[in-house]
Chains A and B, each alone.
Chain A
Amino acid sequence: MDASATERLGDLLRELAPQVLGVLMRRYGGFEECEDAVQEALLAAASQWPAEGVPDSPRAWLITVASRRLVDHVRSEQARRRREVAAAVREAPDADLAPAPGEEGPGDRDDTLTLLFLCCHPALTPASQVALTLRAVSGLTTAEIARAFLVPEATMAPRISRAKQRIKAAGASFELPPPGERADRLDAVLHTLYLIFNEGYTASSGPDLHRGELTAEAIRLTRLVHRSLPDDGEVAGLLALMLLTEARRPARTGPDGGLVPLAEQDRGLWDAALAEEGTALVTAAMSASPLGPYQLQAAIAALHVQAPRAEDTDWEQIRILYGILGRIAPNPMVTLNHAIAVAMTRGPRAGLDLLESLDDDPRMARHHRLHAVRAHLQDLAGEHVAARENYRLAARLTTSLPEQRYLRQKAEAHGEAG
């Protein structure tokens, strides 16, 4: 099997994983047991299909194998101690297991959404929500997830099983949250997808290719949510933000793996198709839905990709959008970006003044980005000695190797200039 065939098989399995899990959940209940059974069926498919060929109805094959695994597990459980659930599973008629070949189950799309709500249950920490989503909805193995997060499989496995136990303990069921909770729960789902995207986006090229695949997976999942909820402006906004951010990926790192700042990126390398799709999405969302933080961030990203050269950037519009974002979703990182936009429109001193509001913020006390932005604005203001000191301070405080390398280079460049 060549590389592209392997990739197609992976795509197919990822697409089918939540559908198969949804069928099992509706039929038998028991998230933990069903999820394990689906995972085993996916592993069986990944090892058998390349040799034996993809079955006529891959979905039916997976449902059948996963159901058998579930029955086997329940029977062996039952041998030890009699359980009621075993009876229910035993009595499930085999004929009910698989739909006709090629037939798409009626609730597949909603199943994916329901599973996302379940995996992003408020009883879980964000890290557990991320890990469980990648396993139960994306169908990744624990080993793949562990590799993506640069931890041993032995670390990731208990994180996932504890998450499943917590969901069980919270009494969560396989159904959409009640309308009153839907908005908050959707926020959690979007945040989880955003975290998955970011985990992949921050990864440098080279040793971390596995992490880069997370951005593609986050985009795929967000597309599915967008298809289920086409009228939700924030879902569209998040998808647009991801596409517009992803569009810049080819230009983000130089040939030596170093970070290239936005203003210095080769805009010819940006992915025009992604940029166009993201821009269209956010434009449509903002005209039809109430404004939200993801739409605003996407709109700002769209203004950046629309500028043919860095000096063509519509900073005035970006400043206004950051002002609104700071009002509806105040956050020190927004203030940092707002300060840059203020500096670009009203001069570096005005930007530096705005930064002072962050000096007493405990969330920023050890944060390198405050000092990096201050250094950048001091540079623009001609205060090169102060800028050098702040670049050095930022380089000491960052815990990212490529950022540290970049900040040290900036500090050294000032050693020569003055």
Chain B
Amino acid sequence: MKFLLSLYADAAGHEAFVTAARQAGELVGGHALADPSLSAVVRVVDGVPAVTEGPYAGAGEHVTGQYVVDCESRERALELAALLPGGVEVRPLMDPAGLEM
């Protein structure tokens, strides 16, 4: 199962997480995000793209970085997230496969 780990704290102190997830073969990828003031939101209105400077969600807390892990269970994903600083949102990714009902 794949999970997206979204971080809200400033990017530092990830070594324990990266080492654990990489060695176990659970780390799929990750990236640090630039400041949301550098973002732009694009909406196409009547066929014309309209660009608004700034983040989508306005003021408030912003994601500073993300990791994707592939692990056996939600419990394991929570365990890995606990190695990261600050509050970390652990959210499952959708799977392209499914079972018949």
Contacts and interface: CB of A to CB of B under 8 A. Distances in A.
Interface stretch (A34-42, A77-85, A232-240, A397-405): A397-405
A348 B16 CA distance: 52
A156 interface: yes
Contacts, number: 84
A321 B63 CA distance: 51
- Main SS at interface, chain B: loop
Residues of A contacting B: mostly: helix
A217 B35 CA distance: 48
B25 interface: yes
A29 interface: no
Given A155-B26, A156-B25, A399-B92, A261 B97 contact: no
A162 B23 CA distance: 7
B97 A158 contact: no
A166 to B, nearest CB: 11
B100 A401 contact: no
A399 B1 contact: yes
B47 interface: no
Given A149-B70, A399-B1, A404-B94, A162 B100 contact: no
A265 B101 CA distance: 11
B54 interface: no
Interface in A135-164: 149-152, 155-160, 162
Contact of A262 (B28, B29, B100): B100
Given A127-B72, A151-B28, A152-B29, A403 B98 contact: yes
A406 B101 contact: yes
B97 A211 contact: yes
Given A162-B24, A399-B94, A155 B100 contact: no
B11 interface: no
A63 to B, nearest CB: 29
Give the residue among A127, A160, A248 with the most B Cβ atoms within 10 A.
A127
B94 A261 contact: no
B77 to A, nearest CB: 12
B95 A126 contact: no
A283 interface: no
A306 interface: no
A155 B70 contact: yes
Nearest to B93: A399
Given A126-B72, A152-B29, A403 B99 contact: yes
A158 B98 contact: no
A202 interface: yes
Interface in A392-415: 398-404, 406
A402 B98 contact: yes
A15 interface: no
A162 B24 CA distance: 7
Contact of A400 (B2, B28, B70, B94): B94
B69 to A, nearest CB: 9
B60 interface: no
A125 B72 CA distance: 9
B49 interface: no
B96 interface: yes
A59 B22 CA distance: 36
Interface residues of A, number: 40
A259 interface: yes
B100 A208 contact: no
B78 to A, nearest CB: 13
Interface string B47-88: 000000000000000000000001110000000000000000
B22 A158 contact: yes
A265 B100 CA distance: 10
A69 to B, nearest CB: 24
Contacts of A160: 25
A131 B100 CA distance: 25
A259 B100 contact: yes
A346 B41 CA distance: 56
Contacts of A159: 24-26
Interface string A185-211: 000000000000000011110011001
Contacts of A261: 100-101
Contacts of A259: 98-101
Interface of B: 1-2, 22-29, 70-72, 92-101
Given A162-B24, A398-B98, A399-B93, 7 more contacts: A155-B28, A155-B70, A156-B25, A202-B95, A262-B101, A400-B95, A400-B99
15 contacts: A126-B72, A127-B71, A149-B70, A158-B23, A158-B25, A201-B99, A203-B97, A261-B100, A262-B101, A401-B95, A401-B96, A401-B98, A402-B96, A403-B101, A406-B101
